[in-house]
Amino acid sequence: MTLSEIASLLGGDILGDESSPSIEITTLSKIEEAQCGSLTFLANPKYEKYLLTTSATAVLVSRTFPVEEYRTKISIVFVRVDDPYIAFLRLLPRFIQVPDPFSPEIHPTAVIERSAVLGDDVSIGAYAVICDGARVGNGTKIGAGCVIGKNATVGNHCLLYPNVTVYHGCTIGNRVILHSGAVIGSDGFGHAPRADGTYEKIPQLGIVVIEDDVEIGANTTIDRATLGETKICRGVKIDNLVQIAHNVVIGENTVIAAQTGISGSTKIGKNCKLAGQVGIAGHIEIADGTIIMAQSGVPNSIKEPNKAYFGYPADEARKAQRAYAALKMLPDTIRELTALKQRVEELEKKLHVQQQSGEGTT
């Protein structure tokens, strides 16, 4: 790849001379190990010292890196990008031969039931089961031990790692990644109490719809709707061990970190960020662009978009963080208040006395 191609791929700017764009990069390296022909990156300032001695041909630096300081001293070509580390990671698969964890074929042990339909170029792992009426799109790879339930649909170019379960009737879009142990379409948690204290199961007749370009982490669970759909909109990224209850809607490009739980019928907006171990109550709405910090609990709807929240009950983040930090001081505060009450009582007594003596002097 030439530097020009690399800069174009990364949205970067080449700072070199006229010939720089056509330089051929043959490998990627850490700065302290780089040889001629290699591209390296500088993200952590403590590695800046290697810049003067490295044999690398080019280096990815951030937009704010003081390139001018170095250009007179060294002949390396700088490529300015938004985030050098991420840019480097994005390039890696172009230079490293990453082995495909999936097998290229339909394993002879895979069970493809009679009325299941497979697209072109699919890969189906050993002991995977594609049930009657299910459809698997072109170029999709399904790992060993996965079960695609009756009438479920998996789109094109998806990756389902081993031991994923997709329940009957659920719909998965294109370019979706499901990690091992993910369960899509289990029954929503609904039980109507009977007079005798026992519960009657409320039938869960809906489905889960996962739109395009979604990634779902290992052992995450997404329940089917009671009626209608639980919906994960396009571009959503969900980490491991997350719980999405029945009839929830997660808006486009929202990111949800590990062990977070969203209760039933809640609607999360677009472009939100939910950190780890967050809990969101049922039947509420969270505005677009909302950020919920780790371990927070959200009992009520959030209407104003693009704000950060923290704590339980989640409050505007800075305010809540100050409150939680202040909690440490609470035992002292209570002690001080008690002491102050004592002093005020003393003052009151004294003043009463003075008043009396004052009265006496008048």
Catalytic (active-site) positions: 246
Stretch that binds a second copy, among 42-50, 54-62, 120-128, 300-308 (CB under 8 A): 120-128
Looking at the chain, list the stretches that DSSP marks H as alpha helix, in order from N- to C-terminal side: 3-10, 67-71, 84-95, 317-327, 330-361
Distance CA 42, CA 30 (A): 9
CB of 74 to a second copy, least distance (A): 26
**Count, residues near a second copy per rule CB under 8 A:** 120
* 337 scored as a contact of a second copy (CB under 8 A): yes
Bridge-based pairing of strands 249-250 and 267-268 is parallel
Output 119 or 276, the one with its CB closest to a second copy. 276
Q: How many residues does the chain have?
A: 362
Q: For residues 128 and 161, is the Cβ–Cβ distance under 8 A?
A: no
224 closest CA partner among 262, 183, 254, 255: 183
Output 138 or 243, the one with its CB closest to a second copy. 243
**Site residues for a second copy, window 143-202 (CB under 8 A)?**
143-145, 147, 149-151, 161-163, 165, 167-169, 177, 179-181, 183, 186-187, 189-192, 197-202
* 313 scored as a contact of a second copy (CB under 8 A): yes
**Site residues for a second copy, window 65-104 (CB under 8 A)?**
83, 86, 89-90, 92-93, 96, 98-99, 101, 103
- What's the half-sphere exposure (Cβ side, CA atoms, 13 Å) at 305? 9
Distance CA 309, CA 279 (A): 12
One residue of 137, 155, 269, 311 binding a second copy per CB under 8 A? 311
* Residue whose entry in the numeric block shows the structure tokens 């290699």: 38
Q: For residues 202 and 227, is the Cβ–Cβ distance under 8 A?
A: no
> Nearest 5°: CA angle at 6, between 2 and 7?
115
Mark 285-322 as b/e (b = at least 16 C-beta within 10 Å).
ebbbbbbbbeebbbeeebeeeeebbbbeebbebeebee
**Site residues for a second copy, window 217-276 (CB under 8 A)?**
217-219, 221, 223, 226-227, 235, 237, 239-241, 243, 245, 252-253, 255, 257-259, 261, 263, 270-271, 276
CB of 3 to a second copy, least distance (A): 21
CB of 244 to a second copy, least distance (A): 9
* 21 scored as a contact of a second copy (CB under 8 A): no
Bridge-based pairing of strands 261-262 and 243-244 is parallel
Output 58 or 280, the one with its CB closest to a second copy. 280
SS3 of 215, please?
A: strand
One residue of 64, 72, 75, 357 binding a second copy per CB under 8 A? 357
CB of 108 to a second copy, least distance (A): 9
SS3 of 312, please?
A: coil
One residue of 48, 121, 213, 285 binding a second copy per CB under 8 A? 213
Contacts 24+ apart (CB under 8 A), 267-270: 269/305, 270/233
Output 138 or 295, the one with its CB closest to a second copy. 295
**Site residues for a second copy, window 127-146 (CB under 8 A)?**
127, 129, 131, 143-145
* Residue whose entry in the numeric block shows the structure tokens 């790992």: 143
Output 23 or 280, the one with its CB closest to a second copy. 280
Distance CA 198, CA 268 (A): 33
Distance CA 51, CA 42 (A): 9
One residue of 1, 74, 281, 284 binding a second copy per CB under 8 A? 281
One residue of 12, 125, 137, 269 binding a second copy per CB under 8 A? 125
* 126 scored as a contact of a second copy (CB under 8 A): yes
CB of 68 to a second copy, least distance (A): 27
DSSP 47: G
Output 73 or 114, the one with its CB closest to a second copy. 114
